[in-house]
Amino acid sequence: MAKPTPLSGFPEWLPDGRIVEQHVLDTLRHTFELHGFAGIETRAVEPLDQLLRKGETSKEVYVLSRLQEEDGAARSGSEKQLGLHFDLTVPFARYVLENAGRIAFPFRRYQIQKVWRGERPQDGRFREFVQADIDIVGAGELPYHFEVEAPLVMAEALGALGEIGLPPVRILVNNRRVAEGFYRGVGLEDVEGVLRQIDKLDKIGPEKVSELLVTECGATDDQAKACLALASISGSDVAVIDEVRALAESYGAVTELLETGLAELGALIAAAAQRAPGVVVADLKIARGLDYYTGSVYETVLVGHEQLGSVCSGGRYDTLASDGKNTYPGVGLSIGVSRLVSRLLSADLVEATRSVPSAVLVAVASEEERATSDAVAAALRARDIPVEVAPSAAKFGKQIKYADRRGIPFVWFPGSTGEDGAVGADQVKDIRSGDQVDADAASWMPSDEDRWPRVVPRG
């Protein structure tokens, strides 16, 4: 078999990279659980008709077939065609409906899983990547304060990664009610169309968006100008609310919907200023054009890495799911974990202190004495110290090299039996300093820094 080559769009990490990813996942999970979110996993596949309910994403779906099928056997009528999920929202909505009778609402859940998109990999987009989602879903109703809470949980989760070297994040928030209220106030009815054009601002610039608003959404030059003026407003304190209202007044465009949206956005900005100062910014150009949000919308950039795009997005849906009897509104955000980890690694922002869990390599004097080394290892593990035993009874220099190559800080030498039959003391060597001291496997302990591999900012 020839040496295989990587598949474009399907990232994999070497063991030290995986330590970084695992640390990120553990940190996110811990923060989510501190905030009372229950973890779930859903299957990787959904019936294709479910995945295609939103037409826009259809082109991204990987469809499954069994190899047998291709060999001629027809799929039985009862068996639905399946596709890999492309996000965690569609499966979560299905899970909520399927288990509605067994879940207590409002239901706070997190979900950390891989998703797949069949698109051609480009611009650092992946075909397989990990998302970490939180959502709060209500039965029938969901108070606005959850729209304040959800991005603040993400601010805390991403902030906790600052310790290992993740740059600070800025969460950009907007409110669909503000946008819709304003657009209708200036006389534009095709709200979705306008949002879709505004969403292109960062890509194609205001002039082209203005043209498109005129040609695609039937806006007058003045209406287009008003939309662009709204999109240009941003700020991290509540003054931004007054700025929007003043703009709307100048166009005679103050509507009830706008006022509702502004009150909501103002509450979010005010709470965020207190609970996560400097992190949350109202940015009136955030549109999330293709998604069916109805209230708050969120995007998140890494400061200094804005061109990476949003690493955590989401918003409020009035109808996350509906089964005819009940409607389930929800609010949530999704972190693009692979995008984040990929940047942490490729930009050399972080590193693992070693590539293996082992803090100690127990040396083996001879294959006949391997059981002695195994016993030392077992004694250390019993006190929760990660240990491996040397693979062969090579010369000690070679065994030390084995440890060094993996970043294992300590090599343990079981006491040897002298010619008089007396057993010498065990010794442990810190191979970084060369210090070697007597040690007892029943009591020796490495420092907290050395015990497990850690993830640290790259020096």
- Residues in 243-282 at the binding interface with a copy of itself, rule: CB under 8 A: 271, 274-275
The verdict on 344 binding a copy of itself (CB under 8 A) reads no
The verdict on 398 binding a copy of itself (CB under 8 A) reads no
Taking CB under 8 A as the rule, which mask of x and - marks residues 81-120 in contact with a copy of itself? Answer: -xxx---------xx-xxxx-xxx-x-xx----x-x-x--
State the DSSP code for 124: T
At 367 the three-state DSSP class reads helix
Shortest CB 142 distance to a copy of itself, Å? 9
Taking CB under 8 A as the criterion, which residues in 18-57 touch a copy of itself? 18-19, 21-22, 33-45, 47, 50
Count CB neighbours of 206 within 10 A: 17
Give 198 or 364: the residue with its C-beta nearer to a copy of itself: 364
Rounded CA-CA distance 417/243 in Å is 83
What is the per-residue DSSP string for 133-200?
EEEEE-SS---THHHHHHHHHHHHHHHHGGGGTPPPEEEEEEEHHHHHHHHHHTT---HHHHHHHHTT
Bond prior to 106 in cis (omega within 30° of 0): yes
Shortest CB 240 distance to a copy of itself, Å? 20
At 67 the three-state DSSP class reads helix
Q: Which of 55, 56, 66, 278 binds a copy of itself (CB under 8 A)?
A: 66
Give 246 or 442: the residue with its C-beta nearer to a copy of itself: 442
- As beta bridge partners, residue 312 has 335
The verdict on 386 binding a copy of itself (CB under 8 A) reads yes
Q: How many residues touch a copy of itself (CB under 8 A)?
A: 98
Shortest CB 38 distance to a copy of itself, Å? 4
Q: Which of 178, 213, 269, 356 binds a copy of itself (CB under 8 A)?
A: 356
Q: Which of 174, 210, 342, 358 binds a copy of itself (CB under 8 A)?
A: 358
Shortest CB 356 distance to a copy of itself, Å? 5
Sequence-ordered alpha helix ranges (H) in 218-294? 221-231, 239-250, 256-275
The verdict on 322 binding a copy of itself (CB under 8 A) reads yes
Taking CB under 8 A as the criterion, which residues in 157-216 touch a copy of itself? none
* C-alpha pair distances (Å), 165 with each of 20, 162, 302: 11, 5, 12
Nearest to 181 by CA among 269, 294, 331, 15: 294
Q: Which stretch binds a copy of itself (CB under 8 A): 211-219, 298-306, 376-384, 413-421?
A: 376-384
Give 126 or 182: the residue with its C-beta nearer to a copy of itself: 126
Give 102 or 395: the residue with its C-beta nearer to a copy of itself: 102
Taking CB under 8 A as the criterion, which residues in 117-156 touch a copy of itself? 118, 128, 138, 143, 145-146, 149
Taking CB under 8 A as the criterion, which residues in 399-458 touch a copy of itself? 402, 405-406, 452
Rounded CA-CA distance 31/118 in Å is 31
State the DSSP code for 262: H
State the DSSP code for 417: B
Residues in the chain: 459
Does residue 339 contact residue 308 with C-beta atoms inside 8 Å?
yes
Q: Which stretch binds a copy of itself (CB under 8 A): 168-176, 329-337, 354-362, 435-443?
A: 354-362
Strand order in the sheet with 234-235: 38-39, 107-116, 128-137, 327-336, 312-322, 296-302, 169-175, 280-283, 234-235
The verdict on 321 binding a copy of itself (CB under 8 A) reads yes
